[in-house]
Amino acid sequence: MARPRKPLLSYDRIVVTARGLVDAEGLPAVSTRRLAAELGVSGPSLYNHFRTKDEILEAVADSVSAQVDLSMFDDVRDWRTALHDWALSYRKALRDHPNIVPVLARGPGRRPAALRLADAVYGAMVAAGWPPAQATSIGALMRYFIMGSALGSFAGGFVDDASAYDPADYPHLGQAHLLADQQEKIDERAFETGLTALLDGLAAQYGRADREAGRTDP
């Protein structure tokens, strides 16, 4: 019997299949047995590419990091605009794959795409004139904010039953049962509001640093 022209398995095929399982059913859905069944191969054959389930999930997480646009750090956009545009791209990647966020939240570790992301943000901030320690803090702050927004929906946390919000107990939640119907709109607006406030605060710090440098320079 002739050998197939293409191998049954590849690194990318395993990652794409595992990512589909995570997206559809969550992290517990991924096991070597389940993946092998989805791929139509024997379980042991997966070990030619990955030693453990954790390695597979790390690869899935990095494939999501690779979806984040970093081009804004290579062009002429100012640091604030670059951070804003990057944050939108980062949030979109996490919103498209929310079930992998707990793995991403562990930090970049040795993941190549995640490390390129961290390197791009830090490098752009230092190049813009932020002190290295502050550039590190900005990268951490943005990561906290973006990942936090992807971990759940504020509007989706309310039920659409008006009786759940008795005015006698919750006098200011009379319209809360309507929030779930506008979940995406509310969450998008909240993210943009928070992002603008965060960037405004950083811009104020940046301006103060410039003024202080101007007073102390000879």
- Give φ, ψ of 153 to 5 degrees: -110, 125
Instruction: Note the pLDDT of residue 180.
Output: 86
Instruction: Note the pLDDT of residue 37.
Output: 92
Structural domains of the chain, with CATH = 11-63 (1.10.10.60), 69-214 (1.10.357.10)
Per-residue pLDDT tens over the stretch 190-207 = 999 999 999 999 999 998
Instruction: Note the pLDDT of residue 13.
Output: 94
- Residues 90 and 88: their CA atoms lie apart, in Å, by 5
Question: Which segments of 40-78 does DSSP mark as H helices, in order?
Answer: 53-65
Amino acid at the residue 186:
I
Interval 97-123 mean pLDDT: 96
CA 19 to chain centre: 14
Beta strands in 31-183 (DSSP E): none
Please provide the average confidence, as pLDDT, over all residues in the chain. 90
- Residues 23 and 91: their CA atoms lie apart, in Å, by 16
Q: What count of other Cβ atoms lies within 10 Å of the Cβ of residue 2?
A: 4
